[in-house]
Amino acid sequence: MSHDRRQFLLRSAAASLAAGGAARATTLPPDAGPQPPGQPFVDYLPVETPNGASLPFKVVDGVKVFHLVVEPVRHTFAPGLEANCWGYNGRVHGPLIEAVEGDRVRIYVTNKIEAPTTVHWHGMFVPNGMDGVGGLTQCSIEPGETFRYEFTLRQHGTFMYHSHHDEMVQMAMGLMGMVVVHPRAPNEPPPERDFVYMLGEWALKVGTERPDPNEMKDFNVLTLNAKVFPATAPMVVRTGQRVRIRIGNLSAMDHHPMHLHGHSFVVTGTDGGVVPPSARVPETTVLVAVGQTRTLDFVADAPGDWAMHCHMTHHVMTQMGHDVPNLVGVDPSLFDAKLAEVLPTFLQMGKGGAAEGDGDDTLPKNSQPMVGGTAGFGYVTMGGMVTVLKVRDKITDYADPGHYVHPKGTVADLATAAELRRDGIE
């Protein structure tokens, strides 16, 4: 969402709060009728899409009108790693579509790629003819055509949209995005911060500039909102805030166990609906399978820089080569020179593992190191599907605050000889 639109919505919400004197997001009774013409629901906290944006809309005779444009997009996964993808409205992945339960929405889709396409509304209860399955429920949208989808939002939650024509190719090229429908009358306390992520995986062979849709298992670019760490923007929250993280997965072939450090959350919703409170269990990792969304809620009660990442170890790397010889524990000095003739340095593994030799400057054009970015203590040996939750006391500005400054004595550090003697450690 653009800063301007967020400010507009927050101001509007504040104005309605002042006028009505009631708490935000609880001003509408459950049986509230259709929205008065020309008045969009603004009675919700806008969702934040790190590295992304929300799709703007206008209100015409009480209907929220959106316009998705399917088009080629030159996308940057991280500085130095770009590809020719397909996206919506100049973005990969597409912008967040955000509305409120009960809204009537009209979504125009203009096709500007050289192939037919459609849009399917994943998890959403729509009339069958609006379901977007090419050939089954509608004619595909030919290049140059604009189709109209129109329906009333009958549920709330976290959903997705994606091409349902030539799915293997079009989704591999980037044609997907998230949908958030806010409840009309929440019966639980709303979050104070609300983030959304689309998980994705790409086959972008080193040196090439177009994702390969034919790949079935060897994906080498794993993304959160189509960015790889360290290009993923952090979530910056204030200590004590109720935080919601919505995660959808439309990777081609992989499920992602998403793990949050330092906190415990409950899954409060899926793309199928709200999880009843009696069925919620505390978790620190949630498996988000292909074609699923999961909504996590927790209180950010621990200041610090906390990683959130997929727990598949090959999914926290970027542009790894899976045919690399295993040299862990091997001294390669005798054949280093010969190896260097056939294997780029950045794909090599040293006797200490894959992190050895990172940060060198031998990267080929349009590629990334397998792991890494720098943080307060040096090199972070993760890349790919990783971001950071930054929890800070008393902040009101959510710009990146930099690295966490730890209270004295709270960082794991080199043990002193006196400590080792005291505790009988040899």
Q: Look-up: residue for tokens 């091409």?
A: 163
* Selection from 63, 87, 65, 62 nearest residue 75 by Cα: 87
SS3 content of the chain, % helix, strand, coil (to 5): 10, 35, 55
User: Pattern of binders to Cu ion over 305-324, x per CB under 5 A?
Assistant: -----x-x--x---------
Q: Cis omega before residue 120 (within 30°)?
A: no
Nearer to Cu ion by Cβ, of 138 and 251: the residue is 251
Residue 397: CB minimum distance to Cu ion, A? 32
Q: How far is the CB of 298 from Cu ion (least distance, A)?
A: 21
Longest dimension (CA), the chain: 78
* Of residues 63 and 388, the one with the C-beta less far from Cu ion: 388
Q: How far is the CB of 269 from Cu ion (least distance, A)?
A: 21
Identity of residue 277: P
- Burial status of residue 175 (CB atoms within 10 A of its CB: 0-12, 13-18, 19 or more): buried
Shortest distance, position 160 Cβ to Cu ion, whole Å: 17
Q: Which residues pair with 118 in a beta bridge?
A: none
- Of 151 and 219, CB closest to Cu ion: 219
Q: What is the nearest approach in angstroms of Cu ion to the Cβ of residue 386? A: 10
The count of chain residues that interact with Cu ion, using the rule CB under 5 A, is 4
- Taking the complex as a whole, the smallest distance from the CB of residue 155 to Cu ion amounts, in Å, to 28
| Shortest distance, position 174 Cβ to Cu ion, whole Å | 18
Restricting to residues 237-276, which ones interact with Cu ion according to CB under 5 A?
Answer: 256
Helix (H, G, I), strand (E, B) or coil at 152: strand
Nearer to Cu ion (CB atom), residue 25 or residue 386: 386
Nearer to Cu ion, 93 or 315 (CB): 315
d(CA 296, CA 281): 11
CA distances from 74 to 52, 87, 88, 105, 153 (A): 15, 9, 12, 29, 33
Residue number with CB closer to Cu ion (51 or 345): 51
Helix or strand run (H / E) with residue 5: helix 3-20
Of 96 and 386, the one with the shorter C-beta distance to Cu ion is 386
Based on the shown chain and the rule CB under 5 A, indicate whether residue 294 belongs to the binding site for Cu ion.
no
Where does this chain bind Cu ion (CB under 5 A)?
256, 310, 312, 315
